[in-house]
């Protein structure tokens, strides 16, 4: 969508899409669940609209049920009996092995002793352990035989002890099998309702199979090993917040919010004001723990693409281009048709770190970008993929024709703004005043602006002033005051400019006549406020080599458009006067007391009038200011800001006192753009100020000098004593003087200037 800011592009498109989306099917829900096989790759599951929250609540219910049921099963007499049997079997195996070792030792005259630090062996005599001193009194050969017996028994003891871990593992396996056997029935029973509720969804069925298998294997999560107080605390903690059960929870990425589970109707229409990378494609959040950052699948957050999936997404192109990586991520997503959650750190780090890799989600959505035309053309030129992805271009106009049908439509537009912002109603006079202001904003009396934002600002302020006056409706006076207050808050610099002119610091005459001097008009724009500023333009001429000096350009203060306008003046002079002789003119043009840049060609007609005055030596009325561009044939062409220019000069004249001789010359083609302030219109109606519309330079110079411009007759000469006649005679005089100068002094004579 191309168009200027504040023209209501997004509002209009959103209204259009919402009406269309209301009749389209609602998209499905999406959830992320724990992947029990590949833990760092959470699985995405698609669910019918409204079912995601049901699944999430159902899984919480499963965990709540198991937290209540499983501890009771493990405390039952049956379980305790079977658990003791396993323990007894393990202990019996150990005792049997020990008894066999003990019998072997007794037969060899060795006693096996149990000590706090383990097992010990000592010689025995008739079943009594031999004391150390008695052992040392035995003959050496007998002692050596006893030591060999002990070494052999220690080997057998070591072999027996090595069997203990195996027996312990068998005991643990038996206990685990017992626990799983006991838990299998409880887990299966807890999941029956969930399976029945989602029996038609294959993805949910596979997920529940994995959940059931994992719950049975990790049934110990539901059995507290602490005392009674710890068990009470464990039972009162919310299952969805208990870290032990996080992997069994469901992360709802996109789901209907209806409390009764009824699915929402229609496709989504989402507008994102802050299209950063994370807001666009989603992000993985982290939690600080023990100096580290941890994450899991429950910390995956959706992006606006997830919420708009199956519908429409509206984005501001300029904001998105200002967000790092957002534009490239959007292009990758649209080209692949899948939403992949990526972290910008993965693209910046040279060393990759282990993190989550959520399963990609298929994308089916329409994306609408908003921006001004220049941004669109820049993106199309700079990025070859842009036109491949965004093939439909809609250029949004910021004006509409002003006619009877438009009045009715505009009244409806104003009513919609009033309704949207909860304002007081606007009466007929107020609507008429808004329409007039609309044309003023559009800079065209035959057009109405579509910049809804600017109109809404005026209506909101008018609503305030109506409230201050105790009125129930917004009237003409309220709208007028809102407009004047907006101007008052923004026109400090305009007042300063007018003050410097009124005090004579900046020289601008509004009466009398001067040769080669004219009042040109320019526009200064400050944000949303623009005002007209009169400038004195002067021209000086003498004999020369046909050079027209633009002083603004010479000192690098003139822009290319202004320089072009000055060059057109030379084309006009050469094509209009003294056609049979070389142009022997040296002239200079300057904006007096201008200390900033000058650009645009709207002053070219004023500069030409000043040149003609200087050449004809006929004074120009200083009571009249001029604006308009000119071509090489002397046709006056339309310019911008005509209302502000007229009002700027009117304010100067009004401050000094209107005489009835003052006025402004504008191009005839700008008549349809006139939307002047009420005080200017009233002054014109009283004959105190005049707005002249001209089509040619000839018409303008007659108004400025009071003399006829003069037309070239059949004899090739202009009417005697006309402006054109005087100009041509002056140029012929320059040419003759130049010829005589070189005839008397030769080529390259001193004082000759070359261009």
Active-site residue 240, yes or no? no
Burial string for 646-675 (b: 16+ CB within 10 Å, else e) reads bbbbbbbbbeeebeebbbbbbbbbbeebbb
Q: Is 470 helix (H, G, I), strand (E, B) or coil?
A: coil
Closest listed residue to residue 387, CA positions, set 318, 331, 308, 328: 331
Threshold 0.75, pTM exceeds? no
pLDDT of residue 233: 42
CA pair distance 71, 75, nearest whole angstrom: 6
**Residue 172 CA, distance from chain mean position:** 59
pLDDT of residue 754: 41
CATH number, residue 427: 1.10.8.60
Q: What is the pLDDT of residues 674-701, one digit of tens each?
A: 999 889 999 999 999 999 999 999 999 9
Same domain, 96 and 151: yes
DSSP H or E stretch at residue 378? helix 373-382
Same domain, 515 and 479: no
Same domain, 444 and 515: no
Same domain, 547 and 471: no
Q: 445, 406 in Cβ contact below 8 A?
A: no
579, part of any domain: yes
Counted domains in the chain: 3
pLDDT of residue 469: 92
Which ranges of the chain have pLDDT less than 70? Answer: 90, 92-103, 105-109, 112-121, 125-127, 134-135, 153, 156-168, 170-171, 224-237, 256-264, 346-354, 597, 599-600, 746-755
Same domain, 449 and 578: no
Q: What is the pLDDT of residues 433-472, one digit of tens each?
A: 999 998 888 888 888 888 888 889 999 999 999 999 999 9
CATH number, residue 730: 3.30.230.10
Domain boundary among 265, 289, 309: 265
pLDDT of residue 559: 73
Provide CB contacts within 8 A for 100, sequence distance 6+.
none
Q: 464, 418 in Cβ contact below 8 A?
A: no
Same domain, 460 and 543: no
327, part of any domain: no
DSSP H or E stretch at residue 399? strand 399-401
CA pair distance 704, 618, nearest whole angstrom: 10
CA pair distance 338, 331, nearest whole angstrom: 11
The per-residue DSSP string of 68-118 comes to HHHHHHHTSHHHHHHHHHHHHHHHHHHHHHHHHHHHHHHHTTEEEEEETTE
**Tokens found for residue 541:** 């001429």
Provide CB contacts within 8 A for 103, sequence distance 6+.
none
391, part of any domain: no
Same domain, 534 and 407: no
215, part of any domain: yes
pLDDT of residue 261: 37
272, part of any domain: no
193, part of any domain: yes
Active-site residue 602, yes or no? yes
Same domain, 224 and 96: yes
Same domain, 42 and 80: yes
Domain boundary among 215, 241, 265: 265
**Tokens found for residue 582:** 């070389």
335, part of any domain: no
Beta bridge partners of 252: 31
Q: Which of 437, 645, 722, 729 is catalytic?
A: 645
Same domain, 460 and 551: no
Containing structural domain, residue 48: 27-265
CA pair distance 102, 110, nearest whole angstrom: 8
**Tokens found for residue 142:** 């007998």
Q: Which of 56, 438, 602, 604 is catalytic?
A: 602
Q: 311, 270 in Cβ contact below 8 A?
A: yes
Domain boundary among 490, 524, 547: 490
CA pair distance 244, 292, nearest whole angstrom: 19
Q: How many CB atoms lie within 10 A of CB 471?
A: 15
543, part of any domain: yes
State the pairing for strand pair 300-301/283-284: antiparallel
**Tokens found for residue 244:** 């032990």
Same domain, 71 and 147: yes
| Residue 577 φ/ψ, nearest 5 degrees | -120, 150
**Residue 47 CA, distance from chain mean position:** 31
Provide CB contacts within 8 A for 575, sequence distance 6+.
632, 633
Q: How many CB atoms lie within 10 A of CB 473?
A: 14
Same domain, 568 and 426: no
pLDDT of residue 689: 94
Q: 348, 370 in Cβ contact below 8 A?
A: no
């Amino acid at each position: 969508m191309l168009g200027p800011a504040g023209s209501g592009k997004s509002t209009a498109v959103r209204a259009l899409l919402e009406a269309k989306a209301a009749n389209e099917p609602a998209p499905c829900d999406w959830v992320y669940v724990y992947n029990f096989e590949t833990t760092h790759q959470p699985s995405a599951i698609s669910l019918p609209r409204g079912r995601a929250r049901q699944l999430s609540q159902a899984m919480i219910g499963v965990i709540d049920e198991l937290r209540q049921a499983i501890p009771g099963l493990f405390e039952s007499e049956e379980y305790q009996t079977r658990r003791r049997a396993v323990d007894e079997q393990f202990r019996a195996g150990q005792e049997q092995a020990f008894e066999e070792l003990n019998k072997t030792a007794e037969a060899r005259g060795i006693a096996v002793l149990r000590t706090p630090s383990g097992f010990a062996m000592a010689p025995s005599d008739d079943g009594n352990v031999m004391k150390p001193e008695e052992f040392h009194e035995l003959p050496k050969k007998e002692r050596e035989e006893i030591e060999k017996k002990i070494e052999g028994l220690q080997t057998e003891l070591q072999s027996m002890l090595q069997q203990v871990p195996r027996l312990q593992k068998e005991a643990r396996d038996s206990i685990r099998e017992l626990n799983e056997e006991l838990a299998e029935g409880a887990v299966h029973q807890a999941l029956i309702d969930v399976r029945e509720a989602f029996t038609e969804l294959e993805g949910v069925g596979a997920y529940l199979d994995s959940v059931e298998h994992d719950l049975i294997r990790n049934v110990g999560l539901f059995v507290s090993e602490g005392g009674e107080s710890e068990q009470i605390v464990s039972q009162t903690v919310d299952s969805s917040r208990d870290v032990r059960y996080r992997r069994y929870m469901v992360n709802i990425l996109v789901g209907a919010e209806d409390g009764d589970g009824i699915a929402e109707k229609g496709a989504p229409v989402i507008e994102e004001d802050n299209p950063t990378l994370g807001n666009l494609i989603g992000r993985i959040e982290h939690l600080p723990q023990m100096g580290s950052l941890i994450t899991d699948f429950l910390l995956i957050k959706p992006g606006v693409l997830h919420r708009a999936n199956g519908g429409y997404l509206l984005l501001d192109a300029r904001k998105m281009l200002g967000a790092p990586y957002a534009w490239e991520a959007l292009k990758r997503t649209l080209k692949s048709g899948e939403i992949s959650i990526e972290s910008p750190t993965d693209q910046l780090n040279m060393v990759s770190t282990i993190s989550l890799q959520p399963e990609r989600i298929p994308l089916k959505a329409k994306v609408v970008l908003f921006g001004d035309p220049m941004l669109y053309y820049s993106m199309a030129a700079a990025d070859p993929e842009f036109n491949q992805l965004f093939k439909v271009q809609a250029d949004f106009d910021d004006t509409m024709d002003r006619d009877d049908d438009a009045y009715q439509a505009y009244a409806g537009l104003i009513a919609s703004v009033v309704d949207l912002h909860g304002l007081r109603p606007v009466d007929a006079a107020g609507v008429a005043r808004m329409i007039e202001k609309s044309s003023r904003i559009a800079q065209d009396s035959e057009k109405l602006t579509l910049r809804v934002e600017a109109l809404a600002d005026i209506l909101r302020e008018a609503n305030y002033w109506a409230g201050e006056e105790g009125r129930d409706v917004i009237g003409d006076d309220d709208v007028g005051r809102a407009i004047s207050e907006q101007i008052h808050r923004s026109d400090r610099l305009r007042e300063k400019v007018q003050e410097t002119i009124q005090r004579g610091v900046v020289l601008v005459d509004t009466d009398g006549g001067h040769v080669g001097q004219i009042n040109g008009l320019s526009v200064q724009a400050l944000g949303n406020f623009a005002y007209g500023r009169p400038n004195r333009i002067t021209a000086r001429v003498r004999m020369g080599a046909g050079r027209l000096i633009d002083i603004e350009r010479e000192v690098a203060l003139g822009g290319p458009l202004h320089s072009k306008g000055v060059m057109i003046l030379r084309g006009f002079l050469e094509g209009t006067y003294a056609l049979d002789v070389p142009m022997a003119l040296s002239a200079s043009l300057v904006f007096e007391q201008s200390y900033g840049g000058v650009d645009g060609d709207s002053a070219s007609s004023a500069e030409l009038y000043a040149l003609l005055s200087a050449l004809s030596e006929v004074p120009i009325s200083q009571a009249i200011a001029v604006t308009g561009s000119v071509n090489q044939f002397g046709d006056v062409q339309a310019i911008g800001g005509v209302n502000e220019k007229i009002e700027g000069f009117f304010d100067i004249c009004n401050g000094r006192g209107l005489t009835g001789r003052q006025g402004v010359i504008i191009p005839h083609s700008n008549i349809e753009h006139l939307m002047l302030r009420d005080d200017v219109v009233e002054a014109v109606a009283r004959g105190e100020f005049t707005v002249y519309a001209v089509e040619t330079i000839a018409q303008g110079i007659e108004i400025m000098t009071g003399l006829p411009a003069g037309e070239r007759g059949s004899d090739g000469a202009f009417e005697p004593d006309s402006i054109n006649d005087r100009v041509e005679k002056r140029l012929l005089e320059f040419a003759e003087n130049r010829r005589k100068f070189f005839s008397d002094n030769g080529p390259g004579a001193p004082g000759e200037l070359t261009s």
